[in-house]
Amino acid sequence: MAEAHQAVAFQFTVTPDGVDFRLSREALKHIYLSGINSWKKRLIRIKNGILRGVYPGSPTSWLVIVMATVGSSYCKVDISMGLVCCIQRCLPEGCGPYRTPQTRALLSMAIFSTGVWMMGIFFFRQTLKLLLSYHGWMFEMHGQTSHFTKVWAICVRLLSSRRPMLYSFQTSLPKLPVPSVPATVQRYLESVRPLLDDEEYYRMEVLAKEFQDKTAPRLQKYLVLKSWWATNYVSDWWEEYVYLRSRAPLVVNSNYYVMDFVLIKNTNIQAARLGNVVHAMIMYRRKLDREEIKPVMALGIVPMCSYQMERMFNTTRIPGKETDLLQHLSDSRHVAVYHKGRFFKLWLYEGSQLLKPCDLELQFQRILDDPSPPQPGEEKLAALTAGGRLEWAQARQAFFSSGKNKAALDAIERAAFFVALDEESHHYDPEDEASLSLYGKALLHGNCYNRWFDKSFTVIAFKNGQLGLNTEHAWADAPIIGHLWEFVLGTETFHLGYTETGHCQGKANPALAAPQRLQWDIPEQCRAVIESSCQVATALADDVELYCFQFLPFGKGLIKKCRTSPDAFVQIALQLAHFRDRGKFCLTYEASMTRMFREGRTETVRSCTSESTAFVQAMAEGSRMKADLRDLFRKASKKHQNMYRLAMTGAGIDRHLFCLYVVSKYLGVSSPFLAEVLSEPWRLSTSQIAQFQIRMFDPDKYPKHLGAGGGFGPVADDGYGVSYMIAGENTIFFHISSKFSSSETNAQRFGNHIRQALLDIADLFQGPKADS
């Protein structure tokens, strides 16, 4: 095969005269350029490590201190108060570079200046960490900022005024604090009160009291010790025990999806769309490697932890018999591509140069035009990543640990990311509501063997040019992939662009080597495992009911006029909708982030509160005055906002109890309280989707440039999964999932209840006395 010849640097043949080597100059040139590129990356990382390590200092500030010290010496002023002379006396005499007094004096002043500079950096960094530990600003009413918070904000701005790199603030972020056991237990009991009758609540109080007095003190000591030693007392256990040790299939249960722009279309050409998008993704990766991406800042001044971004690219989840492993490589120069049952390896670089969008379009088009059939067992191979983890681990060890299968699997697992070229078309048609749900289903699971669910993310390209992502959850949370997606869509639309015919800009290089087909030798036993995994995954996928819709009557604009947070408004509407749907309340999960702390990920907000249930019950009665209902709603909204802020500032409930449970398992301690808490089902699991993390364009100027967010499968078999994106001033997107096998749930029915609940709550604030 031609591509095989171009992939090697030299060939040789054995002749009667010896071994005849034939060097390929072109291949050796590419190897040389790749080496140069690797060294450039190493030097950039070293430079960034130095600049990050001295932030908020800089080489310029060091030079200023040195010049000030030397200048004062020439002016006969000793600002070192004798320290320079002490350093000078300690330097060796008589030989080498220290021979002359002038050299010794200059060296002493440089050492003194460096010491002052490093002490200053340490002082400023510790001061910034102390300032970032203050979270009182979150609990102040909008427009009623205290003088203390104003002074605090000025100090934070001053200490972080120098342009930061992506990871500049990492060492200045505070550690996630361990809450006290009594506080967590009290908040837990408060959260379950509206869900339990008096007898059940009393029983839980007894269990909680026994745990707090007898078991918890010992567990808490170990947890506090871990918090002193580890960077974050939650994140590593959360990643391991919630994600990597789970033996359930990733499809539906763990992976989630992200949608494309749905109200505009840049091009209908599948290969062209991928050319621009893949190029933009590698541009983002280059910025990530060079730490040129600005850290995400709350209110523009409080930095969020960026550590999750490190494993965005070149990352694969490797199956294990007991626990999986996240494999992350420092670099990868290719992507793996799936089309019509075949796997390809597509190089992203020619030598040290990133392929242009038009070159990438050519390469993707070559894959689309390739007429070769799948090899035996190849078509459904990716179903192994969609089935049980134990079965995949055993198959990987048995059939993919050597030979061509190992080489082909390595090409996929070592790829920057995975690309799926689908043969079907999907898009959102506002006139056909079902189109958005079908689009979401295709992204969530496809046909269960045309996505590589182990990769950090899979880019999915439909035949009509519509795109989307399927994302593995262990390495990071949704806002991280959302940050990449915003950059990619903004860069593709406003910087790279397309020709009038819908192709990528520029002229492609037809001399590029074609993408390489991956070669497999899959025996019958392996094909049986593949088919079994496919059946397991298909059963899961077919059981998922997904209902996605765009809510058009209002968005963030009207909600703000109700003087409440948009998130609290939607969450209370979800409680009202769920009560109308099921006739009862349930334990509700809302994901909030803890990225104001180092290596923070998420915390749970228990959205079903006594205040929200009181409002819902009053609405259900139908006889209360609007003023009373508004008052109850505002109390529920205030409670929800306070709980959200507590979760964000490290005073949540569930991560603390989870870690105490892990410690109890390590120590072999039995706790009926923790066992019951950790086994409670989340029948309503919700998440708000972040947007506009990067200002790539003005949303007011381009109101139709909206993504529809994304979604996930239901957490409980008899529950709902709800994600929503408050996409602008006038629209909200919802993604609701449930299981057909449950007779108690129906995603579309619940979606209709959500619509009505939003309208009913908004109606409370209509009229002349709505602001009362």
Per-residue pLDDT of 628-659, as tens digits, reads: 999 999 999 999 999 999 999 999 999 999 99
Report the pLDDT averaged over residues 197-212: 96
Q: Which two tokens stand for residue 238?
A: 């959360």
Q: How many CB atoms lie within 10 A of CB 577?
A: 26
Closest CA to 356 of 280, 270, 414: 280
Q: Which positions ≥6 away from 719 have C-beta within 8 Å? A: 586, 681, 682, 683, 684, 685, 738, 745
Helices (H), 583-625: 610-621
Angstrom distance (rounded) from CA 639 to CA 352: 55
Closest CA to 113 of 171, 56, 69: 69
CB-CB contact of 701 with 492 (8 Å):
no
Angstrom distance (rounded) from CA 558 to CA 536: 45
Q: Which pLDDT score, from 0 to 100, does residue 9 have? A: 42
Task: Reply yes or no on whether the pLDDT at 57 is more than 80.
Answer: no
Percent of the chain exceeding pLDDT 90 equals: 74
Angstrom distance (rounded) from CA 436 to CA 85: 75
Q: Which pLDDT score, from 0 to 100, does residue 8 have? A: 41
Task: Reply yes or no on whether the pLDDT at 88 is more than 80.
Answer: no
Q: For residue 570, which amino acid is it?
A: V
Q: Which of 141-155, 308-322, 375-389, 722-736 is least confident?
A: 141-155
Angstrom distance (rounded) from CA 594 to CA 10: 53
Quick check: helix, strand or coil at residue 293? coil
Start-to-end C-alpha separation, the chain: 78
Q: Which of 339, 426, 445, 473 is catalytic?
A: 473
> Which position has the higher pLDDT, 559 or 31?
559
Q: Are strands 353-354 and 516-517 parallel, antiparallel or unpaired?
A: unpaired
In the DSSP assignment, the letter for residue 261 is B
Angstrom distance (rounded) from CA 435 to CA 427: 7
> Which position has the higher pLDDT, 60 or 434?
434
> Which position has the higher pLDDT, 397 or 97?
397
Q: Which of 7-16, 218-227, 388-397 is least confident?
A: 7-16
Report the pLDDT averaged over residues 24-37: 63
Angstrom distance (rounded) from CA 588 to CA 575: 9
Q: Which pLDDT score, from 0 to 100, does residue 98 have? A: 54
Kindly report the average pLDDT of the chain as a whole number.
Answer: 91
Task: Reply yes or no on whether the pLDDT at 550 is more than 70.
Answer: yes
> Which position has the higher pLDDT, 40 or 10?
40
pLDDT bin (cut points 50, 70, 90) of residue 27 is low
Task: Reply yes or no on whether the pLDDT at 93 is more than 90.
Answer: no
CB-CB contact of 442 with 434 (8 Å):
no
Residues, the chain? 772
Quick check: helix, strand or coil at residue 605? strand
Angstrom distance (rounded) from CA 148 to CA 767: 38
Q: Which pLDDT score, from 0 to 100, does residue 113 have? A: 83
Q: Which two tokens stand for residue 415?
A: 């790829």
The C-alpha R_g of the chain, in whole angstroms, comes to 29
> Which position has the higher pLDDT, 392 or 350?
392
Per-residue pLDDT of 139-148, as tens digits, reads: 988 778 899 9
Helices (H), 216-374: 216-229, 235-237, 270-289, 357-369
Question: In the annotation, is 147 catalytic?
Answer: no
Angstrom distance (rounded) from CA 466 to CA 522: 33
